[in-house]
Structure 1
Amino acid sequence: MDPESLLARWLARQLPVEAGNWLLAQRDRLRAGVAERDFNLAVSWVPRRLGRADLLLDAADLAAAEAARPGWDPRGWSLDQAGRVLLLLAGGGGGADFARRLRGLLATADLAETIAFLRGLPLYPDPDLHRMRAREGVRSAMTPFFEAVAHANPYPAEQFDEPAWNQMVLKALFIGSPLAPIQGLDRRANATLARMLCDYAHERWSAGRPVSPELWRCVGPFADEAARRDLAQALRHGDAAEQAAARAALDAAPLRAAS
């Protein structure tokens, strides 16, 4: 079952009959093709028709999501978010037409709409056409927009080049957003990112500020002698959590060449 069909099934199961019928009618109407104004109007009506309650999913639903689209994690979605993404998938078309429609929706979207459309990134056709929208999301000053792209979302690990990926990870630390929900964090770790993170740790130390224990996770596998010295400092002066993270990073560090 594809993501659109799964969303429709989950929503039909949870919504009152009237709301569910409205949504399916809109899906069929948009799929047949409507004017841009009518499309945008239908999407804007979703929260009033469906409400904003949590989308209720069980383990079988999450397994179905993973089977339909590897990495898709709809935990934490709301009814209106699922409904908006469903209508966009149904009526957005494909290729450049879909990219244009997504760009237009995001240009006028409110906070809730923006989060919904960014969370839907891994489900959209022609994913390479939406990289700019994803990068705009992680560059945003709004933490919810950043996390809609960065957290529980396979899109960045699949589509961002190394500089964009590294900047996203560094920004997460800068704004206090956790790294653990970032998919592909270990797989996309790299030597340049490790150096950037060590430089950031030095900035924090110089300012007398704590360093997130999560920072060292991406340093360990690429730790050179300078990074090892930084890890040693974390072991000496960090709190218990940072010391544990530094030890784990040292365990993951490359073996030193024999002298």
Structure 2
Amino acid sequence: MTRVNELLHQWLLKSASDKGIAWLEQKQAQIASSAAARVFFTAFSAVPRYLGKENLQLTSEDLEAAQAVLPGWFPGHWSVDQAGRILLLLALPSDDTQQYVRSLDQVFTTADMGELVVLYQSLPLLPHPELHRQRAAEGIRSNMSNVFSAIALRNPYPAKYLDDIAWNQMVLKALFVGSPLHLIWGLDSRANPELARMLADYAHERWAAKRPVSPELWRPVGRFADTAIIADLEKMLADGDTTSQAAAALACAESPLPEAQALLSRYPDLHSSIQRGDLSWSSLS
């Protein structure tokens, strides 16, 4: 956590006023010294007033430093007030685990939407991250799109701590609300057979309703494709638009089944593009 604090503080020095930084450091010290709870809550709400709401001015080197500290941490879209609030969260004493969790519970209970976004962004950075699984699951169920995005997108917490049931629900909901799957950290490493089945079923529901299917849907499917899914991929290769055909080809390329490889061989241009590295999920996204 020390390195996280250092980075956040460095970034704020480039984007916030000296007066705002002095106020924040004072509140951090008071909170770390077990000041009354009202000191934290008052300061947490007041951060935008003292620091502002401008975006953090991060360089590519800053983003690389974040990745070095915690793979999957991507603060490139964070604002000054969000960074300041996370520094206050990190100042909360955490040696008494039960008291710490109770304090966090109170913050979540009283937070407005903007504060909830910060809280969910902060989960992978907080002490005792394994204790926050239920909170992450609540964020996934949220009807507030900003809150859902804060936990589901550009956040390494779900991939590391959620079980397959919660993870699969998150990926499926991301598709349902139109979120880009490539922004889900760990999407490839957490792919699993049950998720592949759920996504294929969802694709059939969309097709039955004559609604489009995101090509990204097939990204976690290829390695676990069965005969029925390969038939779906064959349909897309034959009748889909260019992007859907590319997605189907990529899914086939990742399948260990001979039927998938035979299907892909019927589309030599796509097959060659994949082999050369010109076509990948990253380029498709």
User: TM-score band (shorter)?
Assistant: over 0.9
Runs of at least 4 residues off by over 3 Å: none
Cα deviations across residues 75-105 of structure 1 (Å, max 9, x unaligned)? Answer: 1000110000100101242423322222211
Residue 236 of structure 1: how far off its partner (Å): 2.6
- In the alignment, the residues of structure 2 paired with residue 55 and residue 214 of structure 1 have an alpha-carbon distance, to the nearest angstrom, of 30
Is the CA contact (8 Å cut-off) linking 1:4 and 1:86 kept in structure 2?
yes
Which residue, 181, 184, 203 being the options, matches 2:183?
A: 181
Report the RMSD for the aligned CA atoms in angstroms: 1.3
Is the CA contact (8 Å cut-off) linking 1:92 and 1:101 kept in structure 2?
no
In the alignment, what sits opposite 2:136?
A: 134
In the alignment, what sits opposite 2:277?
A: none
In the alignment, what sits opposite 2:80?
A: 79
In the alignment, what sits opposite 2:225?
A: 223
Cα deviations across residues 167-223 of structure 1 (Å, max 9, x unaligned)? Answer: 110110011111001111000001111010000000000000010000011111111
> For structure 1, which runs of at least 5 residues remain unmatched after alignment?
none
In the alignment, what sits opposite 2:31?
A: 30
- In the alignment, the residues of structure 1 paired with residue 181 and residue 52 of structure 2 have an alpha-carbon distance, to the nearest angstrom, of 31
In the alignment, what sits opposite 2:49?
A: 48
TM-score between the two structures when normalised by the length of structure 1: 0.95
Residue 61 of structure 1: how far off its partner (Å): 1.4
In the alignment, what sits opposite 2:58?
A: 57
Give the 3-state SS of the residue equivalent to 1:218 in structure 2. coil
In the alignment, what sits opposite 1:10?
A: 11
In the alignment, what sits opposite 1:250?
A: 252
Residue 63 of structure 1: how far off its partner (Å): 2.0
Give the 3-state SS of the residue equivalent to 1:2 in structure 2. helix
Which residue, 167, 179, 186 being the options, matches 1:165?
A: 167
Letter in 1 for 2:81: D
Is the CA contact (8 Å cut-off) linking 2:34 and 2:93 kept in structure 1?
no
Give the 3-state SS of the residue equivalent to 2:258 in structure 1. coil
Sequence identity (%)? 51
Question: Greater shift after overlay, 86-95 or 20-29?
Answer: 86-95
